[in-house]
Chains A and B, each alone.
Chain A
Amino acid sequence: MADIHYTNVRIFDGGGEAPFMGEVLVQGDRISRVVKSGQGMRAAPIVGAQVVDGAGAFLMPGMVEAHTHFSWNDQPSLDAIQRMPPEEHILWCAEVAKRYLDMGWTSCVGAAAAKPRLDVVIRNAIEDGTIVGPRYLAASQEITVPGGLGDTTQPHLPQSDFAFGAIVSGAEEMRRCVRMFVKYGVDSLKINLSGESITGMPSDRCQFTDVEIATCVEEAKAWGKRVAAHARSCNSIKRCVKHGIEVIYHASFTDEETLDLLEQHKMEHFIAPGLAWLINTCHHASEWGLTPEVTKKMGYHRELEAAVETMKGLRRRGVRILPGGDYGFAWTPHGTNAKDLEYFVKIVGMSTMEALLSATAWGGPMMKRGKEIGYIREGCLADILLVDGDPLADISILQDKARILSVMKGGEFHRAPPLRQARTMTRWAA
């Protein structure tokens, strides 16, 4: 692949400072040079590098989605996701993986898959070039208990093939389950610690015994894997801290004690609230029978209020809050994930700078890649977006594919910037 020399770009480097005009040189899969340019200076040409003159466009690190479900298939229920046959499901995942990269998400953290191997196979297929997609950490299915969130079996259809999640009861079943997913090659185990109001078990309830949770974490750690939890209730969040579960999804309900606890352990956890799910379930799901009256009864309005207060509190305390979460339902379609950044600004009260950092600088450690990802700095992996406009002035432009002029992952253009003369009428063959 040719080296790429971005000139005349406004660089947001992921460090939190105001963007500056400059140039970026990409050699191989990494950023090899970042130069600030003075006013009126012209870029020195570099032999053999393809020049991309950004004409002042905004250059930023590729974004990291912290809570991704490629296998959710834009359907209105867990059952409708689960019923997709495995052959169709894997093709769906491949299609969606590409869509994420199209939209500027160059890394995604799998948060659970709908069938045992979907995430692992997609990650491997991306890595070996069979399909196109972001860097990816593969998750297990949701591990749950009989009757808990993710148990979609019915009394007369108890076969495990009908279940959305992997259902365990007791420490030994938990251990077997974790080992199975580790054998399949997951990067993380997903455990459903709290309920979810739409499934019948309310969000502020807890499932699982401490012994079961401890077994899950112990076994995962033995294999060097990460644990991520669906934890909406206050108690389930505390259990995440207690058991050392690194990734806390949702974290809606808190009290002062929980907030303080998270603050004390803030560099040990990542929070990805998935606010889009709450907001859209409350206000934009009537088409699927979930009118505001219905979702109010379910408790979602109360939860949304609580979650916003929690996020405000966590933000004040410097806990890392990351974008992404539960896109892939009918009312939160895949590809619209950058809405999360807008919610962070408009509802949680983040500055646009904080919102951008949540998708970049915090994405590196979330991807277990430290500072290799999420920065425009020498030596970092060349995951780079070129954006038409200024996300610091209007964070919502990151939702618009047309404004994301190009997407580079690992030094290669997934979407190349538009050519100056692409509209020529005559093509010449031979």
Chain B
Amino acid sequence: MATSDNSTLFTNVRILDGTGAMPYSGSVLVQGNRIRTVGRSTAALSPTGATVIDGAGATLMPGMCEAHTHFSWNDSATLAGIQTMPLEEHVLWCAKIAKKYLEAGWTSCVGAACAKPRLDVVTRNAINSGQIPGPRYLAASQEITVPGGLGDETLPHLPFPEFSFGVNVNSADEMRKAVRMFLKYGVDSIKLNLSGDNFTQDSPAETTWMSDAEVAAAMDEVRVRGKRGTSHARSAASVKQSLRHGIDVIYHASYSDSESLDMLEAAKDRIFVAPGIAIILAMLYEAEPWGITHAKAVQMGYMREWEAAQESLRAMHKRGVRILPGGDYGFAMTPHCQNARDLEFFVKYLGFTPMEAIRSATLYGGQIMMKPDELGVIKDGYLADLLLVDGDPLANLSILRDPKRILAVMKDGVFAKSPEIAAQRRWERAA
């Protein structure tokens, strides 16, 4: 029910602009898909035909960006449980989840890997063409790994690649071929599993097994097509390997040493770190229904990793490395759309202020989405990705994961979730 001239005026809102500045009262005029004017006064802008949303003091903030998204993880407890979903169902699952992210306030998502070769690309294309609702999306490849590494789900007696969660490569040439295939399919990024993960006990978090020649071949192809490399890198060695080869987005980065921290700091204007700490915490404290008791998780190495990760990420934050929310939601113990918990974790465990946590989802979000000058903050001329939130996220970040408190979601000037109107509460409908 948008008005014909497609403009919307938010009045009487508390603007949390995403830059790190303190909120102020004002109004915001959206025309087409962009923010036309931000008014820094309680006096409303002239509506001139716009749909007026009186915020009644609610917070207006930029749409959030999830920096480490797996639409195709299907809230299963194992990689095999994700992998065995048939293709057709998997596509519809991704479409459903994309819509949920948008309605939950994530107006941008950075794909971090998908479970079948084309899922991310197809979902991104369907969102962009308007076929399905969803956030702005950067499409990822599958995880590229080595035989026996994280993501190789084939069994000795069933060696078929279709059984594998990731793509297994075993030389620089095979890597080049796999990367070229994904680039042909149209991905925005190539995901390399450079370290293991405690989730897969045969290749734990502190192991690092891809050869430099393999990583170099991948990044060579990525650069040829102007795309981006991303890495699953929990070990310090894998973080350093990522930095050596020019990978821009480093996922996890749990373990560090002084060398890796120095390298991260030196590259801080180029790189992004999205640690995805929710999965570590969930494995330690919330995974018992799926057979992972606390004792088992400790034995799997999660406590050791959690302690290392807190230390590493606190140090990175102090050194000014951009740390972003998101990561590994989509398992049974970290279901989709609880992603805003990351912001609370950043404050509670990593020494962020609430404002820094907001900035990590907004200002930094625009940057990781490769639109640093037009996305992620509320500013004249920027893309109109906005949330209307009931309450003050700076006082209580948990409201950002409460659907009732997210009053409205706008993406590209169009409401993905409309604010409730008085008339919708009427009982009587007339045809």
Contact = CB atoms under 8 A, between A and B. Distances in A.
Interface stretch (B90-98, B142-150, B249-257, B395-403): B90-98
B122 A51 contact: no
Interface in B380-431: 388, 390, 407-408, 418-423, 426-431
A430 B57 contact: yes
A16 interface: no
Contacts of B119: 87
Given A429-B388, A430-B407, A53 B88 contact: no
Contacts of B122: 85, 87-88, 91
Contacts of B87: 86-87, 90
A268 B428 CA distance: 45
Interface of A: 50-55, 57, 85-88, 90-91, 94-95, 117-118, 121, 124-125, 130-131, 386, 388, 405-406, 416-422, 424-430
Nearest to A124: B89
A55 B118 contact: no
A425 B426 contact: no
Contacts of A55: 430-431
Contact of A429 (B54, B118, B431): B54
A165 B57 CA distance: 60
Contacts of A428: 53-54, 56, 419-422
A417 B431 CA distance: 5
Contacts of A429: 53-56, 58, 388, 390, 407-408, 419-420
15 contacts: A53-B428, A90-B91, A91-B122, A94-B95, A117-B88, A131-B92, A131-B95, A417-B430, A419-B429, A425-B51, A427-B54, A427-B421, A428-B56, A429-B407, A429-B420
A427 B53 contact: yes
Nearest to A388: B431
B124 to A, nearest CB: 11
Contacts of B289: none
B131 A91 contact: yes
Contact of A430 (B1, B56, B89): B56
Interface string B30-64: 00000000000000000000011111111000000
B172 interface: no
Contacts of B55: 429-430
A21 to B, nearest CB: 15
Contacts, number: 122
Interface of B: 1, 3, 51-58, 86-89, 91-93, 95-96, 118-119, 122, 125-126, 131-132, 388, 390, 407-408, 418-423, 426-431
B431 A130 contact: no
Contacts of A53: 428-431
Contacts of A416: 429
Contacts of B56: 428-430
Given A87-B87, A130-B93, A130-B96, A430 B58 contact: yes
B43 to A, nearest CB: 17
Nearest to A426: B52
B390 A430 contact: yes
Nearest to B57: A430
A428 B92 CA distance: 34
A388 B52 CA distance: 32
> Residue among B92, B125, B408 with the most chain A CB within 10 A?
B92
Given A121-B88, A424-B421, A429-B388, A419 B407 contact: no
Contacts of A426: 52, 54
Given A130-B96, A417-B431, A429-B407, A91 B53 contact: no
Contact of A420 (B86, B91, B125, B430): B430
B51 A427 contact: yes
B431 A54 contact: yes
Nearest to B126: A91
Given A52-B430, A53-B431, 11 more contacts: A53-B430, A87-B91, A88-B125, A90-B92, A386-B431, A405-B431, A426-B52, A427-B53, A427-B418, A429-B58, A430-B407
Nearest to A92: B131
Contacts of B390: 429-430
Contacts of B88: 86, 90, 117-118, 121
B332 to A, nearest CB: 18
Nearest to A4: B429
Nearest to A429: B419
Contacts of B3: 425
Contacts of A131: 92, 95-96
Contact of A52 (B53, B93, B431): B431
B390 to A, nearest CB: 5
B114 to A, nearest CB: 11
A271 to B, nearest CB: 31
B431 A418 contact: yes
Best-surrounded residue of B54, B131, B426, B429 (most CB of chain A within 10 A): B429
A359 B165 CA distance: 47
Nearest to B55: A429
Contacts of A51: 427-429
B275 to A, nearest CB: 30
B118 A85 contact: yes
B150 to A, nearest CB: 25
Contact of B430 (A87, A121, A419): A419
A158 to B, nearest CB: 22
A16 to B, nearest CB: 25
A121 B57 contact: no
Given A91-B95, A117-B86, A419 B423 contact: yes
A419 B426 contact: yes
A417 B54 contact: no
B419 A427 contact: yes
Contacts of A87: 87, 91, 118-119, 122
Contact of A50 (B51, B419, B427): B427
Nearest to B405: A430
A409 B58 CA distance: 37
